[in-house]
Structure 1
């Protein structure tokens, strides 16, 4: 009859505890990810719902509901893509103990840049569309098809487009400042190092 030594028993117990810890970490990661997705997807769902509900209630500016629908779809696709990227990277790290291949990083970077550029351009388009006929838009008489637009999609689209544009511009400014400061600190470090080497040679 096979007997289990104390060393084997400790090894089995260690593996069991380790697996339990990994399971708890994965569960915590999954819960946090789901909560973040629910919070971040609330705005895209709102844009999508408002655009679909009021799609025929803005005849004076039919682009406004369309803008909301496209913007909502883009945001949801971005969130879902980020979710799968996080799952993939986490799986590679915890299960395979490998870093993702280089082409995966390049592909992710490319998608992020394309999504950012589209988001920036689409926000500008939204601001232009909402302000193009602002002086002639009215929200009271739906029979006046050439000037009527329901106040809900019009105000919602205007606010969201401006909000997106402000956030993007602030991100660009902060990113530029951070990049400049980082380059400045690297330059200072290089100069100090060169000065130290010269003094050592003297």
Structure 2
């Protein structure tokens, strides 16, 4: 029978537990946990790995810009959504890289605050963009994907990819909302203050 992985001293689990106990609030916990994971290369790997999705949205939208005359905003939604998501991921990757290079020097805290503020605004924009995409993509329910001379034509590749990205976007938004709700709404553990 397999035993669950035990936490070894200095593991990422220990660092997350320490971050949870020493954080002064939810934002501080997010920052500490993000850097605890980035020291292991985990977060940087996740960011780089998931960059393929916005890149594919951007490329797919650009290649098929004129292939959905029934709703020309579908490829534009893909281009803008992919570009903004990619820029946000690059900014967060640079923030992690800055952390590694400066070892949290005095300038890093200000840079992190600026990047976190911009990221928050961009996330709100992406949620609004997700809603706009829902109107544009789902508003042309079942377009003609075979006859390119039809007035209701939209290339199947761009339409179904946008359709799938909307579903993924809502799933990710719901998952992040639940995680943030847990972090922000849970009671902090008992903290002992040393003299």
Please confirm whether the aligned pair reaches a TM-score higher than 0.5, indicating the same fold: yes
Counterpart in the other structure of 1:11: none
Deviation, structure 1 residue 35: 5.0
- Is the Cα–Cα contact under 8 Å of residues 95 and 111 in structure 2 kept in the other structure? no
Counterpart in the other structure of 2:152: 147
Counterpart in the other structure of 2:170: 165
- Is the Cα–Cα contact under 8 Å of residues 44 and 72 in structure 1 kept in the other structure? yes
Q: What CA distance in whole angstroms lies between the structure 2 residues aligned with 1:37 and 1:171?
A: 15
Counterpart in the other structure of 1:121: 128
Compare the two structures and name the one with the higher helix fraction.
1
Deviation, structure 1 residue 100: 3.5
What per-residue deviation string (whole Å, max 9, x for no partner) do you get for residues 177-198 of structure 1?
A: 3322225x56xx89xxxxxxxx
Distance change (3 Å), C-alpha of 1:35 and 1:108: closer
Q: What CA distance in whole angstroms lies between the structure 1 residues aligned with 2:79 and 2:113?
A: 29
Mapping 1:36-115, distance limit 5 Å? 36-93=46-103, 98-100=105-107, 102-115=109-122
1:182 aligned onto 2:187: yes
Q: Of the two, which has the highest radius of gyration? A: 1
Q: What CA distance in whole angstroms lies between the structure 2 residues aligned with 1:34 and 1:117?
A: 23
C-alpha root-mean-square deviation of aligned residues, in Å?
A: 2.7
What per-residue deviation string (whole Å, max 9, x for no partner) do you get for residues 44-96 of structure 1?
A: 12111111111111000100011111111112211221122112121111xxx
Deviates more, 1:149-158 or 1:71-80: 71-80
Which structure 2 residue ranges, 5 or more long, are not aligned?
1-38
- Is the Cα–Cα contact under 8 Å of residues 57 and 81 in structure 2 kept in the other structure? yes
